[in-house]
Structures are given as structure tokens and as C-alpha cells.
Structure 1
Amino acid sequence: MSLTYLLLIFLKLLTVGSDKWDCADYYWRDYHGVIPDDAIPAGKDTHGNTLYIGLAYIRGYELLPGTILPDEKVARTTAYAYVFNTKDNVKILCSPYPEAFEWISTESKDLHKYQNYNLIPGGSEVGENLHIGRVFRDNNVIIGKIFKHERTNRGIWFPLNNKPANSLSYQILNYNCSSANPKIDPRVKIE
């Protein structure tokens, strides 16, 4: 192993140990019906198909987290009293470190306990920042929105049977820096 290679690994490990967001390595890719190789899975549907985490911009409703349904090539999300299925203006969550993502089971009343975690931001609605969460209903995983400051919109809001639904128990998406394993791109020549 070359000295440069060891130095790169050492520098990456130092980064993981500092500020909580220094290690976060994820990004949102445009989604046009094709699932990228580095997309982060959200879970499975009733047929065992993998579903994914998306962000959809809905004009007049802002940027909302939703479930990407690869078979339908849409993102499903909620805003106010509506459910939206959209193919337009959709992003899909991707990362070279899928092992760093974890779903934390919690209750709405305990959300404040996770303020020092790397909870994944999930857009905004009515000027309020959102987190990404999921619930399990009818043998399906469903991505939903969790308002960062739960003053009036408590719990997770998600689409169920073409209507918005709410639950005070859910899982919230976190990026665990200590689980991200640094990888060296094999295309990069280190001398």
C-alpha cells in the first residue's frame, strides 16, 4: 500500500470523527423512471419489489418526500388534503454508502431526542422543514414527511388509499457517520 493511499484513508477517518455533517455523503439525482445503481432502498412492497426514497417538487406545495414506485415510475406524496403521483420534478436519494443509512423507530413525542442525529432533511411544506420517515401499512413500506417542529402537524404524514394518513409511531431516516465505510474509487490512480 502506498503512503498516499494510507494518508487518504486517515484523512477520511478524521473527517468522520468531527462535525456531525462532515461525513454525510449522499446526494439527490434526477429521477426519470430509471433507478440508479447507488439509489438508497426504502423497503419492499407487498410483492417484494424494492421501493425508493424520493423528493418531489409540487408547484404550490413545495418540495415533499415520497415513495418512488419503480413499477409505476412515479413518486407518491401528500400535501394538505391531497395525494400526488408525479413523474415530473422528482429526485431520488443516492449514496456510495448505503450501510450508513438507518431507520430509527420512534414516537412523535420523542422526536426532540434526535436533534443531535444526522436526520435526513426531506424538503419543506408551508415554510416548515421536513424530515424523511416511513411507516408499514398493508405489507407495504410508505415514505412520508415529518415536520421538523411538530407544533400542529404531529407525527408522520403519508399517502394511504389515495388519502393523506397520519401516525404518531414511525421510523425516521438517519445517516450514521460511524457506519460509512470509506471506499477508494478504483479508477483513481494513487502513486
Structure 2
Amino acid sequence: VIRNVSLHIHIQHENNKYHIIIKIYVVASVHSKQNKLTRKFTIMENRILIYLFLVSFVYTLNAKSYFEDYCWREYDGNLPSDAAAFGLDSRGKPVYIGQVLYEGKLIPGQIYTNDRNIYFEWKENAIATYENVKILCTQHMDKFEWVQTEHNKVVFLTNKILIKGGYQPEWLTYIGKKEVNGVTYLGKVICGPYDCYGLYTTNDGRTSLDTSFQILTYKQ
């Protein structure tokens, strides 16, 4: 008879990895005549231990990936050596993903080569600024993957890790792109719990909203 079950969860941080250790303590009494029950309990206990090992292993990998493989660096017009380029502009120069703190919101946008500004959409306006700007950097470009989707299908990408590119209260902000005649346009994807508005980008002082686009994901 199982008398008591207790669950203990402990999180350790070591060598830039997070380890989640889960322990289950079971207090039970088994009568000697119930040999079949004893054997069943032993099998169940072994299965629990195997399952817990797998959980700890998966969480360790995810923690390492998120804390080591990409980051946002301060941007003042000088490109960091590990700035992540995600396409070309109309001049054939690399374009980058930026992030700006603007009116209390974190908004992703586009950064051009040899340009200190970030370009982004806000309240149907095309904005350019060089204040409070960061740029996405990584040494593992192979970890990123662009996935083609629609504004009403993003919520079904449950097998993908979508990279959050900003913050607005009550909304999720992801990173998206579109390509037109070989030119890449980067911007924000704004989503609610059941649907997304689409991809917001800017070009030459004009804004654009696309319901079909590519969204940036992270490969485990």
C-alpha cells in the first residue's frame, strides 16, 4: 500500500547549463504474500526512473541552446563580428535583424550595412531611429531556420521553437521576413493567442502587412 508520495525539483546551473533534477520519494508497505504486486511495483518504479532521466536530459539541452547560441548586442553603427545576416538588400548588401526599445515596447526591425539606424513599423508608420538599438548575433547560423507560413497557421507550428524578437503587452512578437525579386525585408510578426496579424515591414518610408511570410525558428 502506498502511504505517501513526495516530489522534489532542484535546478542547478553549471558551465552555462541548467540541469533540472527531479526526485520522487514513495513510502509504501507490501505484504509478503503479495509477490505479484511486489514485482509490478518494481517494474513501475524502474519505468519512472527512466522517464525522469529523459526529462532531465532534454531540459539540459534546451537550456544550453538558449543561453549560448544567440544574443542581442548593443548596436551603434558598428557591426559586431558575429552579427547574423539574413539576406540582401536592393544593393546586394547584407541585412540584419535589429531590436529597438521604442515607446516602452521592444520591436524588431531591419538593419542595413553601413547604416546606424533600425527601420521598423509602429502604428502604421515607418520609423527609423538609432537610439536604444540592439542587433541579433550568433556563432551558430545553422541553428536558425526560416519556415514558410500564413498568418492563421503560426499557432499550429507546435513542433517548432519560434524566436521571440520583442515584447508588447498581451501580444507575442516574433521575427519574420519576405523576399521580393531577391531583396529581403525583415520585420515583426504580431500574434494573439489564436491568430496573427501578419508580417510588418518597411521600405523607403512605406509600411507593408503580409499575411504570407517566413518566420524565424530555432532548431533543437
Q: TM-score, normalised by structure 1?
A: 0.76
Task: Judging by fraction of residues, say which structure has more strand.
Answer: 2
- Choose from 155, 164, 172 the match for 1:129: 172
Name the structure 2 match of 1:92: 135
Distance 1:151 1:43, change over 3 A: same
Name the structure 2 match of 1:181: none
Q: Does 1:49 align with 2:93?
A: yes
> Cα deviations across residues 90-122 of structure 1 (Å, max 9, x unaligned)?
111111211111111111121112134211101
- Choose from 95, 98, 110 the match for 1:67: 110
Q: Does 1:37 align with 2:77?
A: no
Is the CA contact (8 Å cut-off) linking 1:46 and 1:138 kept in structure 2? no
Distance 1:175 1:99, change over 3 A: same
- Give the total of aligned pairs: 164
Task: Judging by fraction of residues, say which structure has more helix.
Answer: 2
> Cα deviations across residues 60-117 of structure 1 (Å, max 9, x unaligned)?
5x11110011222211001112111111111111112111111111111211121342
Equivalent-residue separation in structure 1 for 2:217 and 2:187 (angstroms)? 14
Unaligned runs of 5+ in 1: 1-7, 9-13, 178-191
Distance 1:86 1:128, change over 3 A: same
Equivalent-residue separation in structure 1 for 2:73 and 2:212 (angstroms)? 29
Is the CA contact (8 Å cut-off) linking 2:99 and 2:133 kept in structure 1? yes
Residue type at the aligned position of 1:88: E
Unaligned runs of 5+ in 2: 1-14, 16-53
Q: TM-score, normalised by structure 2?
A: 0.67
- Choose from 118, 122, 134 the match for 1:79: 122
Q: Percent identity?
A: 29
Equivalent-residue separation in structure 2 for 1:70 and 1:38 (angstroms)? 14
Name the structure 2 match of 1:27: 71
Q: Does 1:142 align with 2:185?
A: yes
Q: What RMSD, in angstroms, separates the aligned Cα atoms of the two structures?
A: 2.5
SS in 1 for 2:152: helix
Distance 1:102 1:74, change over 3 A: same
Higher relative contact order (CA 8 A, sep 6+): 1
